[in-house]
Amino acid sequence: MKNTCALLLIIAICSFTLLHAQPPAGSWGVGIQFGSPSGLTLKRYNPSGMAFDALLAWDLDDFFFVNIHGLWEKPAGSLSPLRVYYGPGAFIGFIERRGRFRDEDDVRLGISGTLGLNYYLDRFEIYLQLTPRLQLVDRTDGSVGGGLGLRFYF
């Protein structure tokens, strides 16, 4: 019984490591991010240079938000299947404020960065990231967003 369990464990580990693979360069990943804000995510993968990442978030009545980053990605360690990514970016948001007598639209524009960990499992990417933002238009303000996401690569 112990030998059977050990054999099954070895097969499972070998299968799991075989599934760990990065998508080919130039692949597009589409998915969803849960966090602040939550929304649709898109990434163009480039292992040898800067990749492209975008987050689109919206509430049908109140706001629309776009955050775009250039990303560099590196292994988290020599034996680790995790990868670290980071890069600069920018954001724009359109927010509708409902007033007592009239509605007003705010435009928020600024710079951002991202720092995260990801893991590739066949054609899927699972990631966790932090996104500090510095709003420059409408007013100067800082905030931190980020989230947990999943992308599927074509």
Residue 9 pLDDT greater than 50, yes or no: no
Half-sphere exposure of 145 (CA within 13 A, CB side): 23
**What is the distance between the alpha carbons of residues 50 and 68, in angstroms, rounded to a whole number?**
13
Of the pLDDT bands very low, low, confident and very high (cuts 50, 70, 90), residue 16 is very low
The pLDDT score that the predictor gives to residue 91 is 97
Residue 128 pLDDT greater than 70, yes or no: yes
Residue 78 pLDDT greater than 50, yes or no: yes
What's the token pair of residue 68? 């775009």
Q: Identify the CA nearest to 92 among candidates 105, 110, 104.
A: 110
What's the token pair of residue 13? 């580990």
What's the token pair of residue 90? 């920018």
Residue 147 pLDDT greater than 80, yes or no: yes
The pLDDT score that the predictor gives to residue 102 is 62
What's the token pair of residue 102? 């009239």
For 19-55, the pLDDT digits (tens) are 557 888 889 999 999 999 999 999 999 988 999 999 9
Mean pLDDT score of the chain: 87
Measured in degrees and rounded to the nearest 5, phi and psi for residue 87 equal 170, 165
Neighbouring CB atoms inside 10 A of 67's CB total: 24
Looking at per-residue pLDDT, the higher value among 32 and 63 belongs to: 32
Measured in degrees and rounded to the nearest 5, phi and psi for residue 62 equal -115, -35
